[in-house]
Amino acid sequence: MMYNMYQEEERDSSMIEDLLWYGCLVVAVLVAGVAKGGFGGGGAFLSTLILALVMVPSQAVAVMLLIFVMMDQVNMVVYWGKWNFRATWTLMWSCVIGVALGWWVFDFVDEAVIKILMALTIVMFFMSFLLESLGGSSWVKRLVMKKSGGVICGVVGGFTSCIANAGGPPITMYFLGRGLSKTAFQGSTVLFFWWVNLVKLPAFVSLGLFPWENIKLSLMMIPIALLGLILGYSWHKKISELWYKRLIYVLLVGVFIKLSYDGLSGLGLWV
């Protein structure tokens, strides 16, 4: 009888873990869809960080990359021609350098270090929106208007996009400094991430990050991804971006604490 009690407890525990795992997956894909569909994609990287709470970082990045690629194709149709190509071109070619650096790091860096790098992308995210709330500092605007500033943002965006699907912060800072309209900002973001995600695909294939299990998970989430995109499109003009960002802030704080703790513990720096 005691044995049966232990079996039931183990089943209940396993069921709760499965619900949490799939719940995180659904929430992550919805967040990504809403962000990519109507809010510049700035919060889309949160989806990978959410998955990293229940998956190893490499699987989280790979699963979300395939979903992002699918979303990008839909977004390119919806926002076709609404981007500012001149403002985006520098980012597009320089991000290839960042992706190459990210591919090199992913090939040998410990999982705990990747989690810490993911946590650091959250700090970058807060910095980008702090600058926006302050109206954008003059030095940032001067920086991004220079070609070197665009190259720096592109390299950093490519690197963080490769290790954590987190290219949003530097790209957001760049486009804010360029003073794009809301629609041009959204369209330029769509164009950039369509490109960088395609560039990342061969790098991830070479790392062996697309076993059938990851591909299957991505395919399963396509209906959820489409729902998120539809919500993002419909909310683009209806919902205040301020309240959207506040929700992202709250979620990011919790994710930052968990990833930082896991990463530092994995390195033996936190007991």
* Distance from chain centroid for Cα 141: 24
| DSSP H helix total and E strand total for the chain | 12, 0
| pLDDT per residue as tens digits for the range 167-178 | 777 787 787 777
For the chain, the structural domain boundaries read: 2-266
Task: Please give the pLDDT value at position 100.
Answer: 93
Single-letter amino acid, residue 181 = S
Nearest to 172 by CA among 46, 41, 1: 41
| pLDDT per residue as tens digits for the range 61-116 | 888 899 889 888 988 998 898 888 988 898 999 999 999 998 888 777 776 777 77
CA-to-CA dists, residue 107 to 103, 204, 266, angstroms = 6, 10, 18
Q: How many CA atoms lie within 13 A of 239 on its CB side?
A: 18
Q: How many CA atoms lie within 13 A of 223 on its CB side?
A: 1
| pLDDT per residue as tens digits for the range 203-257 | 999 888 889 988 998 898 889 988 988 888 787 666 666 666 666 666 667 667 7
* Dist CA 8 CA 10 (whole Å): 5
Q: Where do we find the tokens 């950039």?
A: 192
| Cβ–Cβ under 8 Å, residues 94 and 151 | yes
| pLDDT per residue as tens digits for the range 116-164 | 776 777 676 676 666 656 555 455 555 555 667 788 888 988 988 888 7
